[in-house]
A and B are shown apart, each in its own frame.
Chain A
Amino acid sequence: MASHGCDGKDWALYPHDADIGVRGCGDDPAEAFANAARALTSAITPLSNVAAREAVQLACSAPDLDVLFVDWLNAVIYEMSIRKMLFAGFEISIEDTALRATLRGETVDIDRHAPNVEPKGATFTGLRVAKGPDGRWVAECIVDV
């Protein structure tokens, strides 16, 4: 499992035997979290396939930043699941270990989006939220699909 950043990009998917690793990078945790959510969508369908038509608000809080990251991805997965939506836009603000976000996306169109996998849940495996030596934040974990 390579785990050193996004190689100059904002997000990356990285391999796991059966599932998928999602990684987001950014100047602060909020940007890294938002980019990891973009990675999550890109595991399902190309981001450019998803139109930011509808907005969904969510909030979550956790005992620490690591758990907050897992909670964040799971909150996005929950909204995907109950609304049958995919999201391409993520605006996040984080205060201490509480998060508020607006997701923007559209209802799944099975023919057009051809969803590749269905995320079941974000896991604590490979979980890392940290500031790298280059000053950029990285947030990553394995998502069960």
Chain B
Amino acid sequence: MDLGQFDRIGPYQWQIPQSGGMRVPAQIFADETLLRDMDDKVGEQIRNVACLPGIVTAAYAMPDAHWGYGFPIGGVAAFDPEQGGVVSAGGVGFDISCGVRLHVTNLAAADIRAVQDKLAHELSRAIPAGMGSRGSIRLNDAEMADMLAGGAAWAVAQGYGRTADLARIEEQGKMAGATPEAVSAKAINRQREEMGTLGSGNHYLEVQRVDQLFDDAAARAYGLAPDQAVVMIHCGSRGLGHQIGTEYLREMAIAAPGHGIDLPDRELACAPITSELGQRYLGVMRAAINCAFANRQILTHLVRGVFDRFFDAATLDLLYDVSHNTCKEERHAVDGVSRRLFVHRKGATRAYGPNAAGLPEALSATGQPVLIGGSMGTESWVLAGDARSEAAALSSACHGAGRAMSRHQAAKLWTGSGVTSELAALGITVKSPSKRGIAEEAPGAYKSVARVVEVAEQAGLARRVARLKPMICIKG
């Protein structure tokens, strides 16, 4: 990325001043190295986002930002419905409510090590992963509608997990305002065999160990201790969300001129929040959020079932579940005035600071857990929301490492067998149906997640709490 286009407005904050059709400035949180390594397309895309109607404060990109479609991955933008603000299907993406959940266990890493290969094998058998896999749960139309309205709360009522899990999920596991009746038959068809499936690409289930604590008090509040085993799941709303993204991206792109919106890039497809199309999208997107909540809740249930077969009285308590591809209605202070905004986070994590409304009581004093999925074989992170993030970036933080190279380049540099052997030598068991998929997801294909979270902390977006190292990785 050419640094010449930026004003450095803070040690880790870079701004492209308002110009041309930009309604607000564009800001990227990064150090000089991360910024320089970003594709020029990130700058172009964040400038385009700043041109959209009704955007407030700035168009933001997180330290892990990379070239997306329309919005950059790692993009955050909020829109005011009273100012002609828009909702963008491109600003949420295809994998609606893709997110991460983390379970803390009462097991030590040594307990996992004693059964590691067998446990990895059984997890890979229990968790349908990869293209073409089928879940064991089939829903009829009425059950599908209940799931899309009820989210994880529906899943718990069906026996997948515990009531206590719900308090540890954004929106208590049930996104209000969902309109299952408006979800297309095609979207429902794509979900028929995909409940309780992991998906593919960068989605995974990992058994990890707590490698290092950075904030002892926050770690205690989160129930994290050194060398403890934890389980992380990264996946989203599966075929239903993909189809909704497909349908509304098209409809919004075609309808934009009729709404008086001149799109700098068709992928920024959007509609006024108050329009019929905008309202319809919000309803079905919220149904997809519930689908993602329910899907991850079912996966939790499947994982607990496997752990029960290996360990007496193993507990997998949900620390938190947070999405990183959403548009949420939130209140934020803008120039000292509380405003109702529609905040898009695409590859960015909501990061509420201490005492924010909506946090469970046990987490309130510490702030929301911000779960950062790392690349296979390196590390993942638990951060805590920082109160300063409200003013800095509408309570948002990064979501992962971000790719350093394309899948194509990675497949040329590594082989699946080679990566699997190298990780095995580090004590990490990888299970995946695709060797090429493993090569494309090689740890070296990603940026340093350690630097991304360090910059997120220094920029006041979220505080580092714990570093997690993988032991078992199940990938699609």
Contacts and interface: CB of A to CB of B under 8 A. Distances in A.
CB-CB nearest 6 A-B residue pairs: A108-B132, A15-B406, A118-B200, A125-B69, A115-B131, A118-B131
Interface residues on A, range: 35 or more
B145 to A, nearest CB: 19
Interface string B409-447: 100000000000000000000000111110010000000
Residue of A17, A71, A114 most packed against chain B (CB within 10 A): A17
B201 A118 contact: yes
Interface residues on B, range: 35 or more
B433 A111 contact: yes
Interface of A: 13-20, 44, 63, 67, 70-71, 74, 77-78, 80-82, 84, 86, 107-111, 113-125, 127, 142, 144-145
A76 B39 CA distance: 30
Residue of A71, A82, A86 most packed against chain B (CB within 10 A): A82
A18 B132 contact: no
A17 B67 contact: yes
B192 interface: yes
Contacts of A63: 254
A116 B433 CA distance: 8
B264 interface: no
Given A125-B68, A142-B69, 19 more contacts: A15-B407, A17-B73, A17-B403, A19-B407, A78-B190, A82-B192, A84-B193, A107-B132, A110-B130, A110-B433, A115-B130, A116-B437, A118-B200, A120-B94, A121-B249, A123-B69, A123-B70, A144-B69, A145-B407
A15 B67 CA distance: 11
Interface in B108-165: 130-134
Residue of B73, B408, B435 most packed against chain A (CB within 10 A): B408
Interface stretch (B8-16, B206-214, B238-246): B238-246
B388 interface: no
Nearest to A71: B250
Nearest to A1: B41
Contacts of A19: 69, 407
Nearest to B347: A18
Nearest to A107: B132
A88 to B, nearest CB: 15
Contacts of B435: 114
A105 B376 CA distance: 32
Contacts of B193: 84
Contacts of A110: 130, 132-133, 433
A63 B254 CA distance: 8
Contacts of B407: 15, 18-20, 117, 145
A63 B253 CA distance: 11
A43 to B, nearest CB: 8
